[in-house]
Amino acid sequence: MAKLSKDRLEPDTNDPAYLISYAHHLERQARQLETEKQMVESERLRLQREVNNLKAEIERLRTPPLFMGYVVETLNNKTAIVRSTTGPNLIVTISRQVDISELKPDTRVSLNQRTFAIVRALPPSQDPMVQKMELIEKPLEKYNDIGGLKQQIQEIQETVELPLLKPELFEKIGIEPPNGVLLHGAPGTGKTLLAKAVAHETEAVFIRLIGSELVQKFIGEGARLVREIFEFARQHSPSILFIDELDAIGSRRLDLATSGDREVQRTLMQLLSELDGFDQRGDVKVIAATNRIDILDPALLRPGRFDRIIEIPMPTSESRRDIFNIHLDSMRLSGGLDLDYLTLMTEGATGADIKNICTEAGMFAIRANRDHVINEDFLDAIKKITSEKETAGRNTTGFI
Ligand SMILES: Nc1ncnc2c1ncn2[C@@H]1O[C@H](COP(=O)(O)OP(=O)(O)OP(=O)(O)O)[C@@H](O)[C@H]1O
Ligand SMILES: [Mg+2]
């Protein structure tokens, strides 16, 4: 046993019981130290990993940026002409890691910062705009929402719907199915409406490209975007590609004074070449619309680009009546309408004018605190809209 000497416990090193318990104690301590050592070791490994990560991050942050450019053409296995996004065209070296077959004209590539050598071919970009296109919902407009235009609807059904629905009909007879139509006519006559209705009635994917947006929003990118949109349409075929406001990109080439004009010109050339690429077009039907066919580049009107050029005329009196009925359908009326008189009064009005008249008539009713629209409201609306048109200098009297 351990003896006490004054206030300290003196171990009796000869006592076997003490020696055993002391050995146990040391064993426990050794085990504890062993565990601690393992913990420290694993902590060391963890910190080592973190150091490595941070070192790699520093490396990454230090790498100089690469420039981006587009291939104009490859000259041979080692050199190519590229267009950098900011500067002039450059003749550059192609790195040996790059697969030369990937370097088609207009491929995006990354360029070494100093030598501009092509380091890598980049995957084709999908513009947010192109990406969004997939999500385009089916328009709600139906053929029934179109007043008049019966013959035009039939024609578009034959040229756009039929080849998509029954391509075998064309195969059997041995003719090439039509590839596209061009709709033209005065503003507000229902061209956009008609194209949307076609999209609604077929199962095809509907992609809408608006000429003016292409020119305004995607300066310098128009040609590329046209190419990508056709590519997108091919990948998602059967599809209908609707090019609205074609005149914004397809107007006749005048003197190309500004670089903006040349840019539009490049976009048009790309469009023409896509329209010509019939073999690869697959099940992509093109519907284009314009209210300025007179200024379109004649190249667009050449046979083979659009198979049918369909005029969307001003509505006849019968059509105007139909259009009134379509827009009146959802309105709460009272007291009977003199539709004959309204039709007569709107000689020279377009479908859009008639829609406006109905909306305005509703506004008159709201102003008069009524919950229904009466004949008088329509007459007031016609008066208001014709006078607005006169002020705008479009007409001298009425709608004509
Ligand atoms: N034939 C029609 N039947 C019914 N509504 C019509 C008709 N034509 C035009 N409208 C109405 O007018 C609106 C505008 O017409 P739309 O946008 O189709 O004209 P547009 O011919 O494309 O004109 P723009 O040349 O200015 O683009 C339509 O949303 C529709 O409400
Ligand atoms: Mg339109």
**pLDDT tens-digit series, residues 290-341:** 999 998 888 888 887 888 999 999 999 999 999 999 999 999 998 888 999 9
Domain ranges of the chain: 15-62, 67-121, 129-311, 317-391
Please choose from 150, 193, 343 the residue to mutate so as to test ligand 1's pocket, defined by most ligand atoms within 8 A of CB.
193
CA 240 to CA 233: how far, in whole Å? 8
| Ligand of minimum distance to the alpha carbon of 187 | 1
**Distance, CA 190 to ligand 2 centroid (Å)?**
7
CATH superfamily of 67-121: Nucleic acid-binding proteins (2.40.50.140)
**Distance, CA 246 to ligand 2 centroid (Å)?**
10
**Distance, CA 18 to ligand 2 centroid (Å)?**
103
| Ligand of minimum distance to the alpha carbon of 191 | 1
What residue owns the CA closest to ligand 1's atom 7? Answer: 351
Fold of 129-311: Rossmann fold (3.40.50)
Predicted local distance difference test score (pLDDT) of residue 399 = 74
Predicted local distance difference test score (pLDDT) of residue 340 = 93
Assessment of whether the complete model's pTM goes beyond 0.85: no
* Residue 352 Cβ < 6 Å to ligand 1: yes
Predicted local distance difference test score (pLDDT) of residue 6 = 53
* Residue 357 Cβ < 6 Å to ligand 1: no
What residue owns the CA closest to ligand 1's atom 5? Answer: 351
Write out pLDDT tens, residues 201-228: 887 888 888 888 877 776 677 888 888 8
| Ligand of minimum distance to the alpha carbon of 352 | 1
Q: Which atom of ligand 1 lies nearest, measured to the CA of 315? A: 1
Decide: 357 and 395 in contact? Cβ < 8 Å.
no
* Residue 148 Cβ < 6 Å to ligand 1: yes
69-88: b or e for each residue (b if 16 or more CB lie within 10 Å)? Answer: bbbeebeeeeebbbebeeee
**Distance, CA 355 to ligand 1 centroid (Å)?**
8
- Please tell me the class of the 317-391 domain: mainly alpha
Residues with CB under 5 A from ligand 2 (ion): 192
* Residue 190 Cβ < 6 Å to ligand 1: yes
* Residue 189 Cβ < 6 Å to ligand 1: yes
Compute mean pLDDT per 10 residues along the chain, 400 residues long, and list them.
Answer: 55 84 93 94 94 92 86 91 82 91 87 89 69 62 94 92 87 86 95 91 85 76 83 84 89 65 80 75 85 90 88 96 95 90 93 95 95 94 87 64
* Residue 130 Cβ < 6 Å to ligand 1: no
* Residue 147 Cβ < 6 Å to ligand 1: yes
Please choose from 149, 184, 192 the residue to mutate so as to test ligand 1's pocket, defined by most ligand atoms within 8 A of CB.
192
**Distance, CA 287 to ligand 2 centroid (Å)?**
12
**Distance, CA 312 to ligand 2 centroid (Å)?**
11
Predicted local distance difference test score (pLDDT) of residue 137 = 64
Please choose from 151, 183, 189 the residue to mutate so as to test ligand 1's pocket, defined by most ligand atoms within 8 A of CB.
189
**Distance, CA 309 to ligand 1 centroid (Å)?**
18
* Residue 291 Cβ < 6 Å to ligand 1: yes
| Ligand of minimum distance to the alpha carbon of 293 | 1
Q: Which atom of ligand 1 lies nearest, measured to the CA of 183? A: 21
Residue 162, burial from CB neighbour count under 10 angstroms (0-12, 13-18, 19+): middle
**Distance, CA 377 to ligand 2 centroid (Å)?**
28
**Distance, CA 191 to ligand 1 centroid (Å)?**
6
Predicted local distance difference test score (pLDDT) of residue 224 = 82
